[in-house]
Amino acid sequence: MAKQVQIILQDDLTRLYYSGPNVWTENVEKALDFGQTTRALDFILRSGQPQLGIVMHFEDAQYDLKFKARMDQNAGKIVPV
């Protein structure tokens, strides 16, 4: 059975993946799966760590997608970077 896509966070500066409170890992398989992009975005906005990017990680990493977003205070919504 194919593994579902994982929604994880990667620090652009260190290239490490978020694994839990104050825990970062080089191993993408040990990264915390947020399950939904909205949960990952909420975490980034609350954490105040704009260097974090969201990765949609697939079983075959060549298909991984990474994107960044930020809160546009003027528009009052989240926008892609």
Domain extents for the chain? 6-74
Residues 6+ apart with CB under 8 A from 77: 71
- Distance separating alpha carbons of residues 45 and 52, to the nearest angstrom: 10
Locate tokens 């290239």: which residue?
Answer: 15
Predicted pLDDT at 50: 80
Q: Bridge partners of 23?
A: 20
pTM: 0.84
pLDDT tens for each residue of 2-18: 568 999 999 999 999 99
> Where residue 81 falls among pLDDT bands split at 50, 70, 90?
confident
pLDDT tens for each residue of 16-68: 999 999 999 999 999 999 999 889 988 988 888 888 999 999 999 899 999 88
Residue bearing the bigger pLDDT, 31 or 81: 31
Please provide the distance, in angstroms rounded to a whole number, between the alpha carbons at the two ends of the chain. Answer: 34
